[in-house]
Amino acid sequence: MAHTPTLVTHTIEPLFDSRSRVLMLGTMPSPKSREYGFYYGHPRNRFWPVMARLWDEPPATTIAEKKALMLRHRLAVWDVLAGCEIVGASDASIKRPRPNDLARIIDAAPIEAVVTCGSAATRHYERFDAPRWPELPHLALPSTSPANARMSLDALVKAYAPVRDLAEGGEAAARVLAALAPTAAAVSDPEDSAPGVSAPGDAR
């Protein structure tokens, strides 16, 4: 199997509105997500099941349902990078990263916290964005990709529970915000452990 990097440009529009309170960031859309036309498009990625479980809702299956779920709960979704060279869906293989301008969302919505999904998203956020918005609380969470096989769906739902608290505001959000350091420590993901090798199943 060839491991030739491909120059990829981000083409999926960010999702947010004037009520978005939490900005959730991945690294870069995978080939499956680009083919699907929306975030976390691989059928074995657990991002959307996690989001539904957080609010005890039926699984969102269509793009329209996924957009509605996020906006209903004041969540925005985008990726840290606007372009890069990458082998398949392997975040560890990324070279020549070029960041998205998060001001497009942060200046337009009442964003109170940023959540990065996976250690690669965390690293690139800390490099490109955290210095620009040092006052914005940042929570680093594990990847929902099946490449992160050590974490079950139940474990991911538990790890992502602070997203629900942040999105709903009030005392629960205040507790999470108080616990956050200016930049949370990166989370180690198995998918990032083998540079230059695509994650199994191209699963983001």
State how far the Cα of 144 lies from the Cα of 24, in Å rounded to an integer.
13
Tokens coding 118:
């996976």
* pLDDT on residue 117: 96
* pLDDT on residue 84: 83
Residue whose C-alpha is closest to residue 23's, from 158, 132, 136: 136
* pLDDT on residue 201: 39
* pLDDT on residue 200: 37
Length in residues, the chain:
204
Q: What is the pTM of this model?
A: 0.86
State how far the Cα of 17 lies from the Cα of 143, in Å rounded to an integer.
25
* pLDDT on residue 204: 61
Block mean pLDDT (10 aa), the chain, length 204: 76 96 94 91 95 97 98 98 81 85 98 96 96 96 91 97 96 92 48 39 48
Name the residue with tokens 């964005």: 129
Tokens coding 148:
């992160």
State how far the Cα of 137 lies from the Cα of 117, in Å rounded to an integer.
15
Residue whose C-alpha is closest to residue 42's, from 197, 148, 167: 148
The tally of CA atoms less than 13 A away on the side-chain side of residue 161 is: 8
